[in-house]
Chains A and B, each alone.
Chain A
């Protein structure tokens, strides 16, 4: 054996191909190589089969229980955030929030490119003092998850620090695109259910944003009613 390598058969058999130690490392790292051995390693590392994920509910339950036990204020899921929004959107808060939105000249600060820290946003909207603390991922808005979280966080924290939009609704569109891309990324990992959940959450937030956008365009006379209706729909 030279160079610590070895021969592998080609797909049709009969001929053989030399695999050096470097080639072998590449193969083990998931890189290209002779067809047969590449196919074997890819099959061994294929995405999860349904039967392999049977322990997921128990693992998630353990995770949730551990997080609850720590009473970590950062424990929030996207779904939980929607539920929390209904708690937080008490009539007084809605009025205060809409007043803030109404005084803003542009759209909601939704895009992940808005670098305002969550703390700043909360200071601008005291009604959301109990809003989730987006620690961790909020520090990393470069990735899809961080971007979407920042986007969703900003969606329920209207702030006067509005991203100036060159065209009407440009800011929110950007944020929605990011959230949508994140769902696609989740789907690419072979997680059809997670992608579906993700899209549902994004749709719910779109409804909320549409209600607020519509309010801004129509003297916001019916905005509290619209928001309430949307939350009732979501909770039913």
Chain B
């Protein structure tokens, strides 16, 4: 597969991160153009995360998230990392609302950690795959979304949404150590899947060579 130009979370102190920090300041003052910059940076990250939570409803969930962000951005105070954390928290809450609405169970007070049970991962996920028109991105997200929910969420929040451990823990309502362990377990499991894929390809190539 061709290598993709990747856009991992720009770390603090880089030009890109500074540009987005400036965009945040400008958007808070009402600049539409700056708001578009924030949207284009964060929307794909949120959509991929929301897909892990609510599958086919991810687009609706992120749309609601942005309505909330658009309305309250001028009141937001904090840096760009904080902004990502804030928007992700809104996204997660909307996802929980969506999962509850879909659930036929009687309404129950649910904590963030119960989301996994409310929104089993594979439901409707296939329908959203059309949104991801890059085969490489789809391949990677398939592997991540196949992880146990807590591990998938931890990996997505850290590596895709771009949150640091403390902010990810805040979004999930968990301890930073718990999130760290979940993310590491997720990575280990991903490594195992990759190894299985590699061995599969290796065996296939071997059989072709023998034939």
Contacts and interface: CB of A to CB of B under 8 A. Distances in A.
B18 to A, nearest CB: 5
A49 B44 contact: yes
Given A49-B133, A144-B19, A191-B40, A28 B187 contact: yes
A217 interface: no
Nearest to A40: B140
A143 B5 CA distance: 24
Nearest to A10: B198
Interface in A99-137: 134-137
Given A51-B131, A56-B39, A46 B136 contact: yes
B205 to A, nearest CB: 10
Contacts of A191: 36-37, 40
B70 A63 contact: yes
A194 B33 contact: yes
Contacts of B31: 74-77, 137
Nearest to B205: A13
Interface string B110-149: 0000000000000000000011111011011101100000
A213 B33 CA distance: 28
B137 A49 contact: yes
B37 A194 contact: yes
A37 B202 contact: no
Nearest to A80: B32
Interface residue SS majority, chain A: helix
Contacts of B9: 29-30, 45
A178 B161 CA distance: 30
Contact of B180 (A1, A25, A53): A25
Contacts of B102: none
Given A13-B195, A46-B6, A51-B130, A189 B40 contact: yes
A48 B71 contact: no
A56 B40 contact: yes
Interface in A30-72: 30, 34, 36-37, 39-56, 58-60, 62-67, 70, 72
B101 interface: no
Nearest to B154: A28
B83 interface: no
Contacts of B158: 28-29
> How many residues of A sit at the interface, in one of the four size bands?
35 or more
Contacts of A225: none
Contacts of B133: 49-51
A182 B43 CA distance: 22
Interface string A179-201: 00000011011110010011000
B15 interface: yes
Contacts of B34: 137, 145
Contacts of B11: 29-30
A83 interface: no
Contact of B23 (A8, A25, A76, A145): A145
B7 A62 contact: no
Contacts of B195: 8-9, 13, 16
Given A9-B191, A63-B70, A137-B31, A43 B140 contact: yes
Contact of B71 (A54, A66, A188): A66
Contacts of A137: 22, 25-26, 29, 31, 34
10 contacts: A41-B140, A45-B9, A53-B43, A56-B39, A58-B63, A59-B67, A59-B70, A63-B35, A79-B33, A146-B22
Given A28-B158, A42-B8, A75-B31, 13 more contacts: A5-B184, A8-B194, A19-B187, A29-B9, A30-B10, A40-B194, A43-B137, A45-B8, A45-B159, A52-B44, A62-B67, A62-B71, A188-B16
Interface of B: 3-11, 15-16, 18-19, 21-23, 25-37, 39-41, 43-45, 47-48, 59, 62-63, 66-67, 69-71, 73-74, 130-134, 136-137, 139-141, 143-144, 155-156, 158-160, 162, 164-165, 180-181, 183-184, 187-188, 190-191, 194-195, 198-199, 201-202
